């Protein structure tokens, strides 16, 4: 088996840490692993396959000999350093929003459009986490009957905001338990015991940038510029798994029974759908899992060809790190 030199950019962040763990879990054919981060993390040692690897400072000269560079350090870092990685002959798999809507960069969910990987010119983009989790569930239905319209409300965990978001939620819980004042520094409002219907920056059309990512990325990944998507993204006090309430309208009718059959055969998806026994997907079940979970599958009472269902996926894994590693697996 051929082995590959792999670099992780943003190796000490929540997603970068998960990338390293998943590379080992899935026995990705790594010859050498390079861990790159900012100067303040230099020298920190992280475990990999029984060894410890020292974190190095990210520079434009960091990619000599690297075959695959997994980026998860934010859009500005990707824009600055990804061209240097490509110039050094590495293929960049980027987890930020920097290149997602670039016409020359494939945007890939391996369960949905794996063939697009081969269209790369040095960069492959990882979609937004909410888009990934939704499309894993939409794909088997879309293949059976084209989806005309999607209305989705996301219930997004603190992990979607990175380690700082998770730490703030945990800190607020500890403060409440101790009877202390709850501090708000990272989120717009207190997240503990609250919901915040605001993720990213509001746009001129009154949708947030996070919501518009779901619209535009869905159209690109599905190869369908006419699919209509109406999203509402909400931050909830959950640590690391996103949930989504999804309503679709299809060209041909899909019964709940047929939907369950299609879901059960789809890669990366597990059906948990027995309301009589109180069995349905929850963040509690999805955390730490590779697959997404779908349940509450039922007919839309307001629309002849409509269907409702509920999807949950671990945002750090399938919504980010795992999807990137799966792209690398398709690549090799």
With beta carbons less than 8 A apart as the criterion, state whether 214 and 130 touch: yes
- For the chain, what is the mean pLDDT? 97
List, for the chain, all residue ranges whose pLDDT scores fall below the cut of 70.
none
Q: How far apart (Å, rounded) are the C-alpha atoms in residues 94 and 141?
A: 28
Check if 198 is active-site: no
Q: How far apart (Å, rounded) are the C-alpha atoms in residues 46 and 23?
A: 13
Whole-prediction pTM: 0.97
Distances (CA, A) of 181 to 51, 176, 187, 247, 252: 43, 7, 16, 39, 54
Q: How far apart (Å, rounded) are the C-alpha atoms in residues 223 and 322?
A: 23
7-12-14 Cα angle (round to 5): 105
In the chain, CATH 3.40.50.720 sits at: 4-127+320-331
E strands within 41-127? 45-48, 51-54, 56-57, 68-71, 91-94, 123-125
Catalytic residue among 120, 233, 242, 292: 242
Check if 120 is active-site: no
226-281-19 Cα angle (round to 5): 75
Nearest C-alpha neighbor of 249 from the set 220, 228, 233: 228
Nearest C-alpha neighbor of 319 from the set 242, 211, 224, 247: 242
DSSP one-letter code for 208: B
Q: How far apart (Å, rounded) are the C-alpha atoms in residues 286 and 293?
A: 7
In the chain, CATH 3.30.360.10 sits at: 131-315
Place of tokens 């799966």: 326
Model pLDDT, residue 220:
98
3-class secondary structure, 328: helix
pLDDT per residue as tens digits for the range 132-158: 999 999 999 999 999 999 999 999 999
Instruction: Say if domain 4-127+320-331 classifies as CATH 3.40.640.10.
Output: no
Model pLDDT, residue 180:
98
Phi and psi angles of residue 146, each rounded to the nearest 5 degrees, phi first: -50, 135
Model pLDDT, residue 1:
85
Token pair for residue 91?
């293929």
Q: How far apart (Å, rounded) are the C-alpha atoms in residues 316 and 17?
A: 10
Token pair for residue 233?
């993204």
Fold classification of 131-315 is Dihydrodipicolinate Reductase; domain 2 (3.30.360)
CB-hemisphere CA count at 13 Å for 127?
34
């Amino acid at each position: 088996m051929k082995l590959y030199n792999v670099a992780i950019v943003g190796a000490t962040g929540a997603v970068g840490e998960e990338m390293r763990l998943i590379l080992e879990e899935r026995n990705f054919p790594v010859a050498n692993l390079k861990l790159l981060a900012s100067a303040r993390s230099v020298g920190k040692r992280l475990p990999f396959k029984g060894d410890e690897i020292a974190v190095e400072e990210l520079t434009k000269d960091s990619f000599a000999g690297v075959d695959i560079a997994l980026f998860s350090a934010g859009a500005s870092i990707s824009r600055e350093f990804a061209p240097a990685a490509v110039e050094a002959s590495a293929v960049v798999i980027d987890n930020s929003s920097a290149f997602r809507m670039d016409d020359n960069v494939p945007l890939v969910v391996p369960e949905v459009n794996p063939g697009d990987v081969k269209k790369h010119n040095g960069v492959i983009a990882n979609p937004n986490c909410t888009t990934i989790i939704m499309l894993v569930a939409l794909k088997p239905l879309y293949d059976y009957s084209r989806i005309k319209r999607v209305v989705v409300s996301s219930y997004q965990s603190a992990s979607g905001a990175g380690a700082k978001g998770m730490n703030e939620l945990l800190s607020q819980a500890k403060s409440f338990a101790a009877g202390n004042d709850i501090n708000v520094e990272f989120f717009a409002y207190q997240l503990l015991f609250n919901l915040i219907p605001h993720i990213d920056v509001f746009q001129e059309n009154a949708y947030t940038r996070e919501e518009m990512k779901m619209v535009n990325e869905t159209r690109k990944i599905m190869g369908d510029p006419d699919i209509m998507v109406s999203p509402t993204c909400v931050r909830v006090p959950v640590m690391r798994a996103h949930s989504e309430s999804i309503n679709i309208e299809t060209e041909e009718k899909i019964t709940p029974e047929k939907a369950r059959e299609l879901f059960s055969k789809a890669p990366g998806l597990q059906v948990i759908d027995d309301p009589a026994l109180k069995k349905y997907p929850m963040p509690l079940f999805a955390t730490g899992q590779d697959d997404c979970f779908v349940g509450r599958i039922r007919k839309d009472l307001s629309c002849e060809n409509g269907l409702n269902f509920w999807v949950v996926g671990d945002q750090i894994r399938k919504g980010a790190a795992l999807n990137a590693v799966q792209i690398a697996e398709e690549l090799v």
